[in-house]
């Protein structure tokens, strides 16, 4: 809980800086790029930045190399350096996620995590976005995730609510109905 509170405090500071500069959208774009890189399972960035075996100078050098490649706004780059200097690299994903939520709330948007078995076409993604927007009454930004285990359909998570239209959940529900029907008829499962 303390990590979440600390993460939100850092995030609020960045939102305030971005708002002062009139750059919420540009900052959000940069933050999303860094967040995606940090949370990518294949990326060695977060483990390198948070690894206790690396000296603070080595960790800063890694961050500076990444910043040079990403070409981020100065405000975002300096913010990331401060978080690293304060020994909070391990909570960067929490901080950046909190920033995105706060910036979106300030702009009247929400983010939805949409999970599908295969990538959605642009047209289908737009239909899902419109349906979710109508459901929550706000503009929705979709972050896509692929998970073949859902077999088909869509699972959307937005504002703490889950809309599960996956084939996997339908099959699970059907299985439960069949088991219940079998048991009520005196059969064995």
Q: Which residue has the tokens 């009247």?
A: 108
pLDDT digits (tens, 9 = 90+) for 68-85: 999 999 999 999 999 999
Domain ranges of the chain: 2-106, 109-184
The per-residue pLDDT for range 39-61, each reduced to its tens digit, is: 888 899 999 999 999 999 999 99
pLDDT in tens, 111-128: 999 999 999 999 999 999
* The domain over range 2-106 is classified in CATH as 3.30.70.890: no
Taking each helix axis from N to C terminus, what angle separates 92-106 and 74-85, rounded to the nearest 10 degrees? 140
Task: Give the predicted TM-score (pTM) of the model.
Answer: 0.73
Q: Are 128 and 156 in contact (CB under 8 A)?
A: yes
Report the alpha-carbon distance of residue 173 to residue 164 in Å, rounded.
12
């Amino acid at each position: 809980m303390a990590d979440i509170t600390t993460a939100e405090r850092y995030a609020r500071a960045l939102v305030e800086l971005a708002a002062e500069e009139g750059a919420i959208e540009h900052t959000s774009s940069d933050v999303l790029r860094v967040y995606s890189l940090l949370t990518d399972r294949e990326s060695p960035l977060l483990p390198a930045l948070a690894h206790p075996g690396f000296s603070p100078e080595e960790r800063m050098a890694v961050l500076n190399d990444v910043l040079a490649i990403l070409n981020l706004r100065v405000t975002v780059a300096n913010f990331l350096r401060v978080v690293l200097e304060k020994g909070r690299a391990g909570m960067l994903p929490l901080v950046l996620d909190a920033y995105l939520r706060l910036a979106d709330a300030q702009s009247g948007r929400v983010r939805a995590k949409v999970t599908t078995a295969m990538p959605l076409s642009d047209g289908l993604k737009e239909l899902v976005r419109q349906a979710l927007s109508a459901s929550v009454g706000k503009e929705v930004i979709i972050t896509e995730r692929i998970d073949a285990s859902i077999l088909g359909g869509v699972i959307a998570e937005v504002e703490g609510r889950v809309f599960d239209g996956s084939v996997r959940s339908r099959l699970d529900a059907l299985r439960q109905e069949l088991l219940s029907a079998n048991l009520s008829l005196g059969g064995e499962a």
